[in-house]
């Protein structure tokens, strides 16, 4: 019977190491040197390298990449368990070389890049010498890829890209822009003439691509197949977001429990008030459900692929957003006025909760995908009544027993007695 929720001791030892390392090294370091991983200052860089060398020694660098793509090949389930630890610390994913949006872009390069493309871009990205962004959403439409217009025209040995993108996270700071055109995904160095980054928004950029010329070999994967690549990228990205969101929910939960045991009101520790208990109990149950769902989905990906696990990935995506909204709200509320300040992580977590229902596809679209896919496993019933219509089921059951009743009239009488009893209760 293969149904086991335990973690093998060797891997648990790794998780324990990651937990100690994040708590004792990464968190204090990033509180003093925020955004250090991208710093160009040689002293800060040297300190970051020292920490990252320890991560590499543990074999925990670029943990998101499968073995055949050049990573340690932990698979999604173990990655989920690792992200559950790392995701508590905002700076940790970058320290571990496992932060979006670079991870998804590296996965694409690893899966679809030519040897030359991997040498030129993947290796330096893995070493954090190059940073990237993913340029897919357009100003006139995000949820519906059929509205995208950005197009790359072939001109001799070059592609010429024209279009406009919206909400390219960290585009301003990226060396490489992975641009989804209607006819393929192209790698555009940000410095290429014709790439214009608009002043607003600051972090998720509006970018105009005007006659942007790139060499022919900057096409990633086959021409015309942008949506397959995008799906692969986003499918992986969504489950990784869910893993880190689980970690954020657990952090919020720990904060609400600690506070509820520490604060008094109306003659009681607040944890003794039933409505506080309700928030704790509901949050606990939601997190347990989310955790199982995330890890089971990760396990399913390991058994098949992101494409085959699409329905569950979509369901996990909107579920994690819902649980984050619920749990971060409960935690904020239990922290009272303190929860509304930026003196703890709760306020930012709660403010970011709606984002999780929009980034990587809005909840509504994922819900529609889930419903559509789930309904493929069903058929309409024949006639007026559903399959579970009890009078019809009773009739069919009686017909099944009729030969027995023929042989044993006593049994028929007993069955008729049961029928009268049930009818009287209805």
Ligand X SMILES: Cc1cc2nc3c(=O)[nH]c(=O)nc-3n(C[C@H](O)[C@H](O)[C@H](O)COP(=O)(O)OP(=O)(O)OC[C@H]3O[C@@H](n4cnc5c(N)ncnc54)[C@H](O)[C@@H]3O)c2cc1C
Residue ranges in contact with ligand X by CB under 6 A: 101, 134-137, 141-143, 167-169, 204, 355, 358-362, 364-365, 368
The DSSP bridge pattern shows strands 268-269 and 219-220 to be unpaired
CB-based contact 292:242 (threshold 8 Å): no
For 84, other C-beta atoms within 10 Å of its C-beta total 22
Residue recorded with tokens 């919020």: 252
Distances (CA, A) of 349 to 61, 235, 414: 26, 23, 63
CB closer to ligand X, 29 vs 186? 186
| Minimum distance of ligand X from residue 368's CB (angstroms) | 6
- Nearest approach in angstroms of CB 136 to ligand X is 3
236, 310 Cβ separation under 8 angstroms: no
Nearest residue relative to ligand X (C-beta): 142
How far is C-alpha 223 from the geometric centre of its chain's CA atoms? 27
Smallest separation (angstroms) from ligand X to the CB of 107: 14
Query: Which C-beta is closer to ligand X: that of 290 or that of 359?
Result: 359
206 vs 291 by CB, closer to ligand X: 206
Q: Quote the least distance from Cβ 414 to ligand X, whole Å.
A: 55
* Residues 6+ away with beta carbon under 8 Å from 302: 75, 76, 77
Question: Based on CB atoms, which residue is closest to ligand X, 77 or 249?
Answer: 249
| Residue 229: exposure state from Cβ atoms within 10 A (0-12, 13-18, ≥19) | buried
* CB 18 to ligand X: min, Å: 26
Nearer to ligand X, 335 or 353 (CB): 353
Of the candidates 239, 220, 218, 240, which has an alpha carbon nearest to the alpha carbon of residue 230? Answer: 220
User: Closest distance between ligand X and the C-beta of residue 353, in Å?
Assistant: 11
The CB-of-167 to ligand X minimum distance in angstroms stands at 4
DSSP secondary structure string for all residues of 31-90: HHSTTGGG---HHHHHHHHHHHHHHHHTT-TTTTS-GGGTS---HHHHHHHHHHHHTTST
> Which lies closer to ligand X via its Cβ, residue 254 or residue 364?
364
Q: What is the largest CA-CA distance in the chain?
A: 94
Judged by beta carbon, residue 19 or residue 228, the one nearer ligand X is 228
């Amino acid at each position: 019977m293969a149904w086991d929720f335990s973690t093998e001791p060797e891997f648990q030892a790794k998780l324990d190491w990651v937990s100690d390392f994040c708590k004792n090294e990464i968190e204090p370091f990033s509180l003093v040197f925020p955004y250090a991983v991208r710093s160009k200052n040689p002293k800060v860089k040297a300190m970051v390298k020292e920490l990252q060398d320890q991560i590499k020694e543990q074999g925990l660098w670029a943990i998101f990449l499968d073995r055949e793509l050049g990573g340690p090949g932990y698979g999604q389930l173990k990655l989920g368990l690792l992200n559950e630890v790392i995701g508590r610390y905002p700076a940790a994913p970058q320290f571990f070389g496992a932060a979006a949006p670079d991870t998804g872009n590296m996965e694409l390069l690893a899966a679809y890049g030519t040897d030359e493309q991997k040498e030129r871009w993947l290796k330096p990205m893995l070493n954090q010498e190059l940073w990237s962004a993913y340029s897919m959403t357009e100003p006139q439409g995000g949820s519906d890829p059929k509205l995208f217009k950005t197009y790359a025209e072939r001109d001799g040995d070059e592609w010429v890209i024209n279009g406009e993108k919206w909400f390219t996270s960290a585009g301003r700071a990226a060396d490489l822009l992975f641009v989804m055109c209607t006819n393929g995904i192209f790698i555009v160095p940000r410095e290429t003439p014709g790439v214009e980054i608009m002043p607003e928004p600051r972090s998720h950029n509006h970018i105009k691509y005007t006659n942007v010329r790139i060499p022919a070999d900057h096409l990633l994967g086959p021409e015309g197949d942008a949506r397959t690549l995008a799906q692969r990228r986003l499918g992986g990205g969504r489950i990784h977001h869910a893993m880190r969101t689980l970690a954020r929910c657990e952090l919020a939960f720990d904060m609400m429990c600690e506070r509820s045991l520490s604060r008094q009101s109306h003659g009681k520790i607040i944890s003794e008030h039933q409505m506080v208990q309700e928030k704790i109990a509901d949050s606990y149950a939601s997190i347990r459900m989310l955790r199982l769902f995330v890890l089971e989905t990760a396990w399913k990906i390991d058994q098949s692929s992101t494409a085959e696990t699409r329905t569950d990935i979509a369901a996990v995506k909107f579920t994690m957003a819902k649980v984050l909204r619920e749990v971060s709200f409960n935690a904020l509320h239990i922290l009272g006025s303190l929860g509304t300040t930026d003196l703890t992580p709760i306020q930012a977590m709660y403010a970011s909760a709606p984002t999780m229902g929009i980034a990587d596809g809005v909840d509504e679209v994922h819900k529609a995908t889930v419903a559509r896919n789930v309904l493929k496993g069903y058929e309409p019933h024949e006639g007026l009544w559903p399959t579970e219509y009890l009078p019809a089921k009773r009739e069919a059951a009686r017909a099944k027993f009729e030969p027995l009743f023929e042989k044993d009239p006593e049994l028929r009488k007993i069955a008729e007695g049961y029928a009268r009893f049930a009818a009287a209760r209805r």
